Amino acid sequence: QAKHSGRNQYRRFTAPLRDSAQKRLDLLKDLQSALETGQFALQYQPIVDMQSGRVHKTEALVRWHHPERGLISPGEFIPLAEDTGLIVALGDHVFHQAARQLAAWRDTLGTTIDISVNVSPVQFKSDGLRPQAWMDTLRELGLPGSAITLEITERLLMEIDDQTRIRRQAFQEAGLKMALDDFGTGYSSVSYLKSFDIDYIKIDQSFIRHLAPDSEDLALCQAIITMAHHLGMQVIAEGIESQAQHELLRAVGCDYGQGYWYSRPVDPDRCAELLKTMQSGGTLLPTADKPDQ
């Protein structure tokens, strides 16, 4: 009897595991062709100036529209793309798509909006990544390097080698900016901040989620902001979902915020509308928070 129930338990625990391994294999197979058949699209999420409520940049976030499975989140397929090396081609696609979109917005809307693009450590370190090709694209589109911010993670900083440093320098000479994404979730030493010449620190959403007055998380945010400002960097808080979080962070001098409270990631058309609203003096602070006009 005990043996029997033990086996049942065994089956109960392995079936989901087997399913997820199978799902992974299926996705892996589909990933190869997804790029060629144009199944990847970008959404854009505003990064908002906390004082003025105006859009500072937008972050490009990749979406996979799978013909059978529907929308698949990057959390699911970016790791697969990294394992297979496809991340290099996918990352190139994202960069070029985002740059073209940015040039189009600048032309049609007459804004000076900038854009942020995520770069995986695997992609950053790959021989397949060619900074010169990216610069050529920017030049053809008439975009200054400073219009582009590359979002990297602590994982990259922990594995810096000569190649990585040379790449960093090439991007820097072209004027691109660097943001350190998901700050506080890795194990890197803060000394890396200096050696890699970071422009923005993005405080990970796990520090924002339970933000409250007098909380440890708020103390940590405050310390990060103070440190960043002393090092000449600016701070973006990720995952702001409430006015309370916005107010607390603004009060401790956080420069920029990103999160559902301002706007979810949106399709290019919707983003163009948001940018148009900015052009006519609008802000992304929900009305309750706006000063009387």
CB closer to ligand C2E out of 240 and 249 = 240
Closest to 91 (Cα-Cα) out of 83, 100, 104, 82: 82
Supply the minimum distance, in Å, between the C-beta of residue 6 and ligand C2E: 39
Query: Residues 63, 71: contact at Cβ < 8 Å?
Result: yes
Quick check: 257 binds ligand C2E (CB under 6 A)? Answer: no
Q: Which contacts qualify for 111-114: CB closer than 8 Å, 24 or more apart?
A: 111/275, 111/278, 111/279, 113/55, 113/57, 113/58, 113/275, 113/278, 114/56, 114/57, 114/146, 114/147, 114/148, 114/149
Q: Please, which residues bridge with residue 65 across strands? A: 71
Contacts with ligand C2E, 212-231, as mask; x by CB under 6 A: --------------------
Supply the minimum distance, in Å, between the C-beta of residue 141 and ligand C2E: 18
According to CB under 6 A, which one of 97, 130, 141, 182 is a site residue for ligand C2E? Answer: 182
According to CB under 6 A, which one of 28, 35, 74, 184 is a site residue for ligand C2E? Answer: 74
Residue type, 186: G
β-strands 148-153, 177-183 pairing: parallel
Query: Which of these segments, 13-21, 27-35, 104-112, 114-122, binds ligand C2E (CB under 6 A)?
Result: 114-122
Q: Which of the choices ligand C2E, Mg ion, none does residue 92 contact, using the CB cut-off of 5 to 8 A by kind? A: none
Query: Which of these segments, 9-17, 133-141, 235-243, 266-274, binds ligand C2E (CB under 6 A)?
Result: 235-243
According to CB under 6 A, which one of 241, 253, 277, 282 is a site residue for ligand C2E? Answer: 241
Distance CA 258, CA 274 (A): 14
Got the DSSP string for 206-264?
A: HHHTT--TT-HHHHHHHHHHHHHHHTT-EEEE----SHHHHHHHHHTT--EE-STTT--
Supply the minimum distance, in Å, between the C-beta of residue 60 and ligand C2E: 6
Q: Which of the choices ligand C2E, Mg ion, none does residue 257 contact, using the CB cut-off of 5 to 8 A by kind? A: none
Supply the minimum distance, in Å, between the C-beta of residue 155 and Mg ion: 12
Q: Which two tokens stand for residue 214?
A: 């007098």
CB closer to ligand C2E out of 30 and 238 = 238
Quick check: 78 binds ligand C2E (CB under 6 A)? Answer: yes
Mapping DSSP to helix (H, G, I), strand (E, B) and coil, where does residue 67 land? Answer: coil
Supply the minimum distance, in Å, between the C-beta of residue 180 and Mg ion: 9
Supply the minimum distance, in Å, between the C-beta of residue 293 and ligand C2E: 27
Mapping DSSP to helix (H, G, I), strand (E, B) and coil, where does residue 46 land? Answer: strand
Q: Which of the choices ligand C2E, Mg ion, none does residue 172 contact, using the CB cut-off of 5 to 8 A by kind? A: none
The structure tokens 């559902």 sit at 260
Supply the minimum distance, in Å, between the C-beta of residue 3 and ligand C2E: 44
